Structure formats: structure tokens, C-alpha cells
Amino acid sequence: MVERPGKNYISERAMHTQDLSLFSGTASHELTAALARNLGHRVSPSGVERFPDGELSVHLDEAVRGRHVFIVQSLCPPVTENLFELLLFVDACRRAAAARITAVVPYLGYARADKRHGLREPITASLVATLLQAAGLDHLVTVDLHAAQIEGFYHLPVDNLSAVSLMCDELKHRLSPGTVVVSPDAGRVATAGDYARRLDATVAVLQKQRQTGAETKVLKVIGDVRDRPCLIIDDMITTGGTIAHAVTALLDAGARPDIMVAATHGVLVAGARERLRHPAVREVVVTDTIARPPSDSSQPTVVSLAPLLARAIRHLANAESISDLFR
């Protein structure tokens, strides 16, 4: 952890929810407002200025000395700008003598860059961890990391919460009887198993091969999906290519044209919604880790993570265990 000369430390046991400050980055205003309502706490005033030359500036509009500060900011597009804004928030809180700084980053951008694929590439997820720690972060709370080993890049506590329980509460009344939970690749098998356990379903796995950073090819469906409705799960939907290929592969394997899609992070870049518009896809369900444009006429069904994140903040502010949030 980065040392902070002259920092005013206070006991975590002395902290309570009334001793916390809750700030929102510009990427997460709606989620932070929902969090505040669940907490029965207000969002602390702050401002972000964007100068004509592209520079950013952050100012806190209330004192945070001796307080536990929570900053909510998803690293969604524009990812680099939102990351730098978060760094400025952390630095501002550190210089204002906050007792403890926790970043609540529901969607952690750059998480797919967790290793090198060539000799002359950066490990960007590691660099993000270095930057946040250098800025003065004490604790990171995130949801459904793309790669769990990213926690190892941080020399501070990381709580990687899961949206599966909330997603299943929403899905169990929407799924057709006999639905098979489908993992889009080997990396999501454990998550698919968690969905299946909660939904009392079976699991199938797609064996795929990545062609480029944005394109994949499904080679084989492992499991029985013939004449069965399917639920394709994933941690994120970015271009929609993986889901589109998965739908085609399942239908080719004899699956019923009754397919649901569930993913924690609906990044949904340009063109993604078009790829998801398949007659067999009945519904797409995501969470609110990434805000949806108000003008978007093709909105997926959104499950709010505000109750889960509010419970985490309440427990952390009171220095209580959050292990029950992982069940």
C-alpha cells in the first residue's frame, strides 16, 4: 500500500454510516443516486470540469477530513477518461485528509488486458492497479471481474462481488421450464454452474476459438440442448459477437428458438444491439453497472445492483464482514 506521510488515521471500528461521504463520478450518477436511497444517505456534492483543451479537474464541495470516503465510478466508455476522473477523485480525497478511500467500481475497465499475448504488449490491468494505488486508494469494490486473478495486481483489499444472486432472482420467473444454462466458453463454467444451482438447471458449454480481439468462432456445443430453451450467461456483452455466435451454434445443435441472455455488464458498443436482434433471442438482461443512454429505444432489461452495493458500503463503513454478500 502507498504510504501517506502525515495522514490522519482513525480506527475503522469507530466509523459508522453517518461518518461516510459518498461521491459519484460522471459515469455512475444514476447508480450512485440509487445507492444513496438504499443507504438512506445523500450523495456528497462535487464537480468535474472539462477544459477546452481536454483536461479534467475535480473538486469536492464538502469537507472529508477524517471520513471514510466512497467514490462510485464505472470504468465504461470512454474508459480512459473515466479512469482518469476516478484517479483525480482519489487524489483530491487523499489531499483533503480523508481517513480511508474506497473506490466502488462496478465495471472495471481494462480487465481483459490481464496478461500479455505478445512480447511487446503492456499488462494494462496491472497498470490500472498501480495507478489507483499510487493515487492513494485504500480499498477496491467491484462486481464480476472478467478475470479473478486481477485481484493479485492490488496490494490492498479487493472485494469482487457477484451479481448472480440478484440476476437469478429476476430470471427465475422469466425462464421457460427445462432451460439449460449455457457458458459461452470454458472460462465461465463456474459462473454457469452457480446460475444452474440457483435456477435448478443443467449446464452446457460452448467450445470456442478467438479469431481476433472482437471476433470468436464456436467450434462445438458440449452438453444436451436439443429441444431445450437456453439461457446464455456471460460477465459482459461488448460487441455482441460472442452471443450472436452462441445463438447460431445452439440453434444448429437443435436448441429450441427460445433463448434468454444474461450478463452483468452491458457495455454494448455500437453495433452490439443489432447483433443481439435475433428472432430466437427472447430477452437480454443486464445490470446497471453501466448507465444506458436515455434515448436508446432498444433497452435490455436492467437489474439494479444498488441494494447489493449499498449493503457492501454499509458493512464496510461499520468495519463489518461482507462475507454473506458472496453467497
Active-site residue numbers?
208
Cα–Cα distance for residue pair 225/289, rounded to 1 Å = 31
Burial of 3 (0-12, 13-18, 19+ CB in 10 A): exposed
Closest CA to 96 of 3, 2, 1, 4: 4
Q: What is the distance, to the nearest Å, from the Cα of residue 261 to the centroid of all Cα atoms in its chain? A: 17
Cα–Cα distance for residue pair 93/104, rounded to 1 Å = 14
Cis peptide before 78 (omega within 30 of 0): yes
Amino acid identity for residue 10 in this structure: I
Cα–Cα distance for residue pair 266/285, rounded to 1 Å = 9
**Residue written as cell 502507498?**
2
**Residue written as cell 462475507?**
323
Between the alpha carbon of residue 171 and those of residues 17, 23, 174, the distances in Å are: 32, 31, 5
